[in-house]
Chains A and B, each alone.
Chain A
Amino acid sequence: MGPSAAPVGELNGRVGGRQPDRVLTTVPVAAGSAAGVPAVEITGLRKTYGGLVAVDDVSLTVNQGEIFGILGPNGAGKTTTVECAIGLRVPDSGTIRLLGLDPQADRDQVHEIVGVQLQSSAMPARLRVGEILDLYRSFYREPADVAELTGALGLAGKLNDYYKSLSGGQRQRLSVALALIGRPKIAVLDEMTTGLDPQARRDAWGLIEHMRDRGVTVLLVTHFMDEAERLCDRVALFDTGRIVALDTPASLAARARGGKVVRFRPSGEFDDHVLTELREVTRVERGGQRVIVTGTGELVNAVLFALAAAGVSAFDVQLDSSNLEDAFVKLTGTHLNEEGTLT
């Protein structure tokens, strides 16, 4: 076990001393003596299937309490990376530590602290929701409260329903419930909102934020840009088995374009100097009746204020902010559609 021996010992002590509070997830990480150890640390991960390289030289560190997004098209190596991280697959090379634990060597401890929601994993058709939850609950020493969990996931009225009678979205939420029922310190959610309707997606986002507030580290695999932008503290963009960028969604977006763009129709004539002398403005263009201003910072306020001072009103003001999607296109040269396939 070598270098990971000390954190393991600390972790054991912490698990043993966990308060028997009936919260959804777990105690705040700050209370743990393992604070400072990264929740997930992957170094030089490589995994091939036959001759096909699925993941090549992937390294990333996820801090405790972070929502970390793994973003990319299908076949980019997202799921393989996550499956190696949770010990389902053995990497060809590279090291993985989860709160200092090796997912292969320390398998039993890892399974106690990591909750996993897998892509395309079903349950026997003739088990009831309540029976499935009760079964998985029995696997853990200090499981979550079923009523609270099913309430938060909108499954409270479904406990007596057979699995086969659930909709796709309900099955997905049950799968998330099973990932959280052991009150994990790290939750790994693979495409958790795929197949959910918009309301259920927003509910699921709320649940993830709620988990983070309780100190749970979330590793979120997704191909939805808006989801990653809304939830993730940091994002790793995957493309063909490699990480092409790793940063906050805002930084990645800012990297994608020179900044923000404001378009408007002025009420009258004005000199471009009114705007170009502003600190926020980098460029002013005219296209027909419209003016297009490129810049940074509080661009809209600065432009409108300067125009007002010059006695000009702006109509039909539009603000274009570059987003994660722009960053992805810029970094990979490809678009993602709803299904995660490239266009």
Chain B
Amino acid sequence: MSALSLALPTRAGRGAFGKVVLNEARLTSRQPIAPIAGIAIPVVLLVIFGELPVFHRTAPDFGGLDPFDAYMPILVVFSLAMLALLGLSVPLASYRELGVLRRLSTTPVPPSWLLAAQGLVQICQALAATAIVMVAGIVAFGAPVPKSLDGFAIALVLSIAGLIPIGLTIAAVARTANAASVIGRIAFFPMMFFAGLWLPRALMPPVLLDISNYTPLGAAVQAMQASMLQGFPPVAPLLVLGGYAVAFGYLAKRFFRWE
């Protein structure tokens, strides 16, 4: 009972998984805290940054980057982190707190379906947020189309793959929805610092940059930035993201409790 498993029982009614996903989407839309924080905030920041002239003046100490271009991947990972660390973990912790997972484990549908459905809903939101930020940045504010679209796609997929297990691990260790929310927020801010939200990576001293390279959001920004401006991203940040996916995937599986 302690392990996450997505074994599909053959006996459950047809369409049950679809109904589970539909219900998760309904619940998200009825209490849209995560989509507002994870999609609306980055989009609003994008518009503000795009309208500020200072963000379009290439400064030598910005590593030759247009500051607006530098912020595009930061806003994308803002969205991914918000959805994974809070959007995913809080409802799952609340389902355990309410006894929904326990109740589900007495039916032909395993409670792991609820995790999968919730993950699917968050991933859809993450992809939508990324699309909105990228398209708006390119179309409305003249950001360049990524030099390597494949590279960007791979960086995005690995970023999501690295962050979702972190959210699941938070849901695993938090006893209540409130605890998940607190842990998620405590994790969010330092992670966003190393993504460069307050001090872009181009301006970080070497020590901070080294640390940033090994944080999930730092690696994600590094990979996305490279795919946007240079070409296919270097292997190092992709490996870091893959490492987080494996490590936190293990932790989530190890520590998740259904009741």
Contacts and interface: CB of A to CB of B under 8 A. Distances in A.
Interface of A: 86-88, 108-109, 111-112, 114, 116, 118, 120-124, 126-127, 131, 134-141, 143, 178, 182
Contacts of B100: 121-124
Interface stretch (B41-49, B69-77, B104-112, B214-222): B104-112
Contacts of A131: 23, 26
13 contacts: A108-B9, A111-B106, A111-B108, A112-B11, A116-B103, A118-B99, A121-B103, A124-B100, A127-B27, A135-B19, A135-B20, A139-B109, A141-B11
B99 A121 contact: yes
B253 to A, nearest CB: 19
Contact of B94 (A124, A134, A143, A178): A124
A36 to B, nearest CB: 25
A140 B13 contact: yes
B98 A123 contact: yes
B106 A122 contact: no
Nearest to A120: B99
Contacts of A140: 12-13, 107-108
Interface in B71-120: 91, 94-95, 98-100, 102-103, 105-109
Given A112-B11, A121-B100, A126-B31, A139 B106 contact: no
Interface in B10-33: 10-16, 19-20, 23, 26-27, 30-31
Contacts of A127: 23, 26-27
Contacts of B91: 124
B13 A143 contact: yes
Contacts of A87: 106
A134 B99 contact: no
Contacts, number: 78
A169 B259 CA distance: 24
Nearest to A132: B23
B102 A139 contact: no
A109 B9 CA distance: 10
A178 B103 contact: yes
Contacts of B23: 127, 131, 135
Contacts of A135: 19-20, 23
Nearest to B99: A121
Given A116-B106, A118-B106, A127-B26, A138 B98 contact: no
Contacts of B20: 135
A217 B98 CA distance: 28
Interface in B50-69: none
Return the 9 tightest CB-CB contacts between A and B, nearest first.
Answer: A121-B99, A116-B106, A122-B98, A126-B30, A138-B16, A138-B19, A139-B109, A111-B108, A121-B103
Contacts of A121: 98-100, 102-103
Contacts of A137: 13
Contacts of B12: 139-141
B43 to A, nearest CB: 25
Contacts of A178: 103
B102 A118 contact: yes
A210 to B, nearest CB: 22
Contact of B108 (A86, A112, A122, A134): A112
B98 A124 contact: yes
Nearest to B30: A126
A108 B31 CA distance: 33
A156 B9 CA distance: 31
A139 B108 contact: yes
Interface in B188-209: none
B11 A108 contact: yes
Contacts of A109: 11
B21 to A, nearest CB: 11
Nearest to A122: B98
B217 to A, nearest CB: 30
A132 B108 CA distance: 15
A131 B27 CA distance: 11
A283 B106 CA distance: 54
B6 to A, nearest CB: 15
Given A108-B108, A138-B16, A118 B31 contact: no
A88 B106 contact: yes
A271 B88 CA distance: 84
A62 B100 CA distance: 28
A139 B13 contact: yes
A107 B12 CA distance: 12
Contacts of B99: 118, 120-122
A139 B98 contact: no
A131 B29 CA distance: 15
A159 to B, nearest CB: 15
